[in-house]
Amino acid sequence: MVARADQTTDPGLQEELLQARRGTAFFARKLNELTDGELDGGSLLPGWTRRHVVAHVGYNARAIARLVEWAGTGVETPMYPSIAVRDHEINFGATLSPIALRNLFDHSAVHLSVEWRDLPDRDWANEVKTIQGRTVPATETVWMRTREVWIHAVDLGNGATFADIPEPVLERLLRDITSAWANRGTDAGLVIRVTGTDLVFGDTNAAHPVTVSGPLAGVAAWAAGRTAGAGCFGVTAAGGTEVLSDVPAAPKWI
């Protein structure tokens, strides 16, 4: 029996889908490395156990699948009724048995992948709405999932770092984060430089900026607020020509 392929013929979108699925496989590998007992341990996210991270990633796949269904049918199916419902769902999921929690991740990931696979080219431009209220084309659901699985694989706190995340994902993530800061005006006086590249973000017109510099993986980890245990290495800060003893905390992202 011949395996069914994605209906989209767009090479760029096909590459993005591949990156999302690779991230899903990476998360699955880091999850499978954990024993059932280790799921009770803390994650890199304050107040969340590894159980919370797995539940969030599982239910996130279901939520994004609802957006893909919306794009394909035209019937509005929001990600969640509210943020409160989402939070309750995560807290409930964290109480599931280890096998149920693992099945939640596995089955929801397959469901989302199938929804993407069966969405024809004509429907990928259809607009849906995120939990934050942004109206986006269905193509955006691929990036939404990509960043979730790669970042939260690190948040499991069992050896993965931002250095394991592909550079194209890190660069897009950094652009997303710094754009969010700019939209809120929280990047005033802050410049971010990726060493060894020409990538510069932030308030580049500031007269006396604080400049945070480092390798792509380190700067992305810092910008995402993962300053402990997530590979935030080689990151330094300077005010003018003076190297600061401490790197400032990044502005809030989401």
The CATH number of 11-160 is which of 1.20.120.450, 3.40.630.30, 1.10.10.10, 3.40.50.920? 1.20.120.450
Second CATH level (architecture) for the domain 167-243: 2-Layer Sandwich (3.30)
Distance, in Å, from the CA atom of 98 to the CA atom of 38, rounded to the nearest integer, reads 10
- 105 backbone φψ class: left, alpha, beta (φ>0; ψ -120 to 50): alpha
Measured between alpha carbons, how far is 85 from 170 in angstroms, rounded to an integer? 30
Q: Bridge-partner residues for 211, per DSSP?
A: 191, 238
Per-residue pLDDT of the chain (254 residues; tens, 9 = 90+): 445 788 999 999 999 999 999 999 999 999 999 999 999 999 999 999 999 999 999 999 999 999 999 999 999 999 998 899 999 999 999 999 999 999 999 999 999 999 999 999 999 999 999 998 899 999 999 999 999 999 999 999 999 999 999 999 999 999 999 999 998 888 888 999 999 999 999 888 888 888 999 999 999 999 999 876 556 678 988 886 666 668 888 888 87
Say what the pTM is.
0.92
- Domain positions in the chain: 11-160, 167-243
